[in-house]
Structure 1
């Protein structure tokens, strides 16, 4: 049985039972059963399933690991976490996250005016808010308003000009002020494709000279008591622990130096994000070389050691780590619409009374193939096809001969793989690779795969008690050749089942898609966010708590600033003016267009 690497990436969240992928929680429902229920209720096309218990699990794991380390090392600082809204701002996730993190004082991080408004509206009382990123006067004023509302907010300064705006705003407003943080530009770099987030040439933060200048400005303007945090970030999805340990040592020493300069209210270090999750589903390419426990222990131990050596107060620890919290709660479900090799069937063979010799030889290969010669015959058939194509170009065989050759080669390949053992399948993947047309847009739902080559676990939702024999390339429905997840025998040896999708449904699950993919999704070909379903699983069963349907074609056109009323009027006028159809037919066409424009643009697998 192929478990598609659940033991590598699944984090004990999923199991396989009776050939189906199931949630390892509560009554352990099969995801395919949830999908079938939704299909019966009319929700076709791609779906995003959100599982609340997986949000709660990740939050609790972080706090448990750090609090255990604090107790073990007798650390005197506290642990705090904030969720960076940029990772996923969808209400089906954020509202649940705030609710589930309330007892732990789990906070929010904002990087824009819109995100700060969300934090001000939804953050739990007494939970922290941090504000990162570049700021103007308006954003800084909003930070002051948040403090005046009673929020525990820290504005993290990215440049001296921002600090000068804070000083000016403090003089203009009321007595209550936000806390101030300084983002430190470290020399230390992270690892992986997001390593450029750190280092001395990174986009954000203050260098040593600017830190000294900032402390001086705070002293001059009686705001040093507001300076409570330093912040750094060396990159998302840090694969190795060593770069973090080096950066933490650098930041820890900056912390004690700033306190020695008189910053006595400085008591917090924010490590930013970077806590990685394991995306790989294949043993050859694991992505993370440390555990959450090791991550927490190293951070607590290093900061305790530095503070002890310099005889300074052990700082409170803040982390963001939005990917770790959000990635695994969401699963993209998409139906397979077509297997392209199924266009080649025996019924489509049109053999002549007298065929070219190469066609007769292909027929013999197909008739006489057996396990002992399967690989050899398959290779021979590919050579024969090359010869037929050459003869076609030279005019010695016709289009029917070419068609017969193509069909026979595909039939030989399919017959061969049914005879081969699993260990021999990789040897044949070039000859028998299957293309699966899947009803989703990669640009909308997996933009990090397209843009960064980020892998995501992929597996069928059922038939897991049957051996998958097809080396699979996945094609999305966009009008773009980049919309493909190609088979790669070394990095991505994905095998799927040979199914007749005209007779039975076949759904693929794309896992760990809850971080960044939804908010980064592009409207390429004007495909919209899939329908979102929030699901609460318990011991008795599962409950569908909320459904947010995918935008209609009309909605997305309006998002792009089209005047949809104008479009309605133009279409109506052109149909009414058409001389090709009668009045009764015109009414039918207008009704059909009304239905289409008020539905989403995904294909219907009916």
Structure 2
């Protein structure tokens, strides 16, 4: 059985049992069972499945671990957290997150006016709101409105101009005021592709000189008592713990120095986000080198030691780790539409009574191949193919000969893989680096996996079933966009093997895991493919199945997509109808049929509609 590295990335959220992927919770339903249930209702195309219990699990884990470290080191500050809405603003994620964290000091972080409205509407009473990013007067005024609603809100200042605007709004709106935080531009940076979001040249934060100016401004405006938090961020997906420890030492000293300067209301240190998620499917290519316990322990212990030496009180610790909370709650399910080599079977051979000698030799290679000579014959077939293609270019063989060449090469490849399927995987990798199977998936990578396309971020991918059978095809994955970048190519250093299935007779689904962070909110409408049909799986012991499907929301229809782009859909319908009616080549009955077909298509989503296995043949 091939486990697709599930022990590395799944966090025990999913398991393999009896050849299928199952949700490792309650009655442990199979993902394929959930997918089939939804498809039987008529929902085709890709699916995004949410598991709200995994949101709760991550929140519980991060609070329990930090509180354990606080207890272990007898730390006097408390632990609080906010979820940065930029990571996932979708209501079917945010609302369960808020509901399952009512008993914790867990709030929301906003980086725009729209996000702040969401935070003001849904943050639990008593839980914090933090506001990061660049702000204008209107956004700062909105923070004052939140304070008037009774929210515990902190406006984190990114530049001195924002602080000056706060002072201006204070004069206009009066109390109650929001709390004020200052974002520090540290010298410390993280690691990896997001490291540039930290460090002295980062986009956000105050330098030491600006920090001193900010304190002076607060003093002069009699607002120093509202300065309660310093904030830093050294980058998303911190792979190594060392940069964080360095940053904590730096910010701990800044905290102590600011208090000694008179900022005695400063009681909170916000360590930002960056807590990494393990995406790897392959041993030796880990995305992080620490545990959550090590992460929390280092933060708590380091802050305790620094402020102890400086004889200052231990601050409350805030964290904004969004990826860690949201990534694992969502799975993208993509149906496989086609395997591109499947058109090459023996029925496709159209041999002549007299074939070119090299084709006759290839046929003999195919028919006489054995395990012992498989590799040798494979190499011979590649040589013959190159020679035959050259002969075609020179006009010595015809198109039928070329077709027979291509078919025979694919037949030989398949036979080699079948003969050697129980051999070491490294042998198969060497064979298949040049001969990957291309799997066409009913999804858009630009829409559903934008970090793969834009940043080269890998996501765990595996079939939902057949996991008690060894996969033998080295796989390149193609999406249905008409863009050459819509491909996840085979990588021999991190190989993906899938099954050789006949999708005209049976369905085959791939699951992409850990897609709950950023992918939905960054997804683009390339080719006008939209957010896939989504649903939530909620577990309930009182139900026969042990779970129920909630919040089933079908992907937008074609007309809805065009309307969102500000097309006049009524005009589009009118023009289409007019052009059908003006066509003199079809009769009135046919016009009605065409019109009916067109309206049906306009009311469906833009993904391809595959045929259910029960309907095939």
TM range (shorter): over 0.9
Separation in 1, partners of 2:138, 2:454: 33
**Quick one: which of 485, 497, 510 aligns to 2:499?**
497
Q: Which residue of 1 aligns with 2:36?
A: 36
Q: Is the 1:281–1:457 Cα contact (8 Å) retained in structure 2? A: yes
> Are residue 429 (structure 1) and residue 432 (structure 2) matched?
yes
Q: Is the 1:144–1:177 Cα contact (8 Å) retained in structure 2? A: yes
> Are residue 227 (structure 1) and residue 227 (structure 2) matched?
yes
Measured after TM superposition, the shift of residue 287 of structure 1 is: 1.0
> Are residue 8 (structure 1) and residue 13 (structure 2) matched?
no
Separation in 2, partners of 1:284, 1:263: 47
> Are residue 301 (structure 1) and residue 304 (structure 2) matched?
no
Q: Which residue of 1 aligns with 2:239?
A: 239
Q: Is the 1:25–1:538 Cα contact (8 Å) retained in structure 2? A: no
**Quick one: which of 569, 574, 578 aligns to 1:573?**
578
Q: Is the 1:191–1:240 Cα contact (8 Å) retained in structure 2? A: yes
Deviations 1:398-427 (A, max 9, x none): 111110010000000001001112432112
Q: Where does 1:353-364 land on structure 2 (aligned, <5 Å)?
A: 353-364=353-364
Secondary structure of 2:154 counterpart: strand
Q: Which residue of 2 aligns with 1:526?
A: 528
Which shows bigger deviation, 99-108 or 456-465? 99-108
Separation in 2, partners of 1:385, 1:81: 62
> Are residue 564 (structure 1) and residue 569 (structure 2) matched?
yes
Q: Is the 2:433–2:492 Cα contact (8 Å) retained in structure 1? A: no
Separation in 1, partners of 2:236, 2:145: 30
Measured after TM superposition, the shift of residue 566 of structure 1 is: 1.2
Q: Which residue of 2 aligns with 1:598?
A: 603
Deviations 1:323-347 (A, max 9, x none): 0000000000010000000011100
Q: Where does 1:183-202 land on structure 2 (aligned, <5 Å)?
A: 183-202=183-202
> Are residue 215 (structure 1) and residue 220 (structure 2) matched?
no
Q: Is the 1:245–1:298 Cα contact (8 Å) retained in structure 2? A: yes
Q: Where does 1:582-593 land on structure 2 (aligned, <5 Å)?
A: 582-593=587-598
**Quick one: which of 424, 434, 450 aligns to 1:447?**
450
Q: Is the 1:413–1:431 Cα contact (8 Å) retained in structure 2? A: no
Q: Which residue of 2 aligns with 1:542?
A: 547
Measured after TM superposition, the shift of residue 538 of structure 1 is: 4.3
> Are residue 462 (structure 1) and residue 465 (structure 2) matched?
yes
Measured after TM superposition, the shift of residue 182 of structure 1 is: 0.3
Secondary structure of 2:83 counterpart: strand
Q: Which residue of 2 aligns with 1:506?
A: 508
Q: Is the 2:333–2:512 Cα contact (8 Å) retained in structure 1? A: yes
Q: Is the 1:378–1:431 Cα contact (8 Å) retained in structure 2? A: no
Secondary structure of 2:504 counterpart: coil
Measured after TM superposition, the shift of residue 174 of structure 1 is: 3.1
> Are residue 127 (structure 1) and residue 149 (structure 2) matched?
no
Separation in 2, partners of 1:373, 1:175: 85
CA RMSD of aligned residues (A): 0.8
TM-score for the superposition, normalised by structure 2: 0.97
Separation in 2, partners of 1:548, 1:315: 44
> Are residue 141 (structure 1) and residue 141 (structure 2) matched?
yes
Measured after TM superposition, the shift of residue 105 of structure 1 is: 2.3
Measured after TM superposition, the shift of residue 432 of structure 1 is: 3.0
Deviations 1:419-465 (A, max 9, x none): 11243211211343100000000000000000000010000000000
Measured after TM superposition, the shift of residue 160 of structure 1 is: 0.3
**Ranges in structure 2 where 5+ consecutive residues have no aligned partner:** 612-617
Q: Which residue of 2 aligns with 1:87?
A: 87
Separation in 1, partners of 2:235, 2:591: 58
Moved over 6 A (4+): none
Separation in 1, partners of 2:35, 2:20: 12
Separation in 2, partners of 1:496, 1:537: 31
TM-score for the superposition, normalised by structure 1: 0.99
Q: Is the 1:158–1:183 Cα contact (8 Å) retained in structure 2? A: yes
Measured after TM superposition, the shift of residue 280 of structure 1 is: 0.7
Separation in 1, partners of 2:433, 2:401: 23
Separation in 1, partners of 2:447, 2:590: 36
Which shows bigger deviation, 10-19 or 458-467? 10-19
Separation in 1, partners of 2:603, 2:133: 38
- Aligned residues between the structures: 605
**Ranges in structure 1 where 5+ consecutive residues have no aligned partner:** none
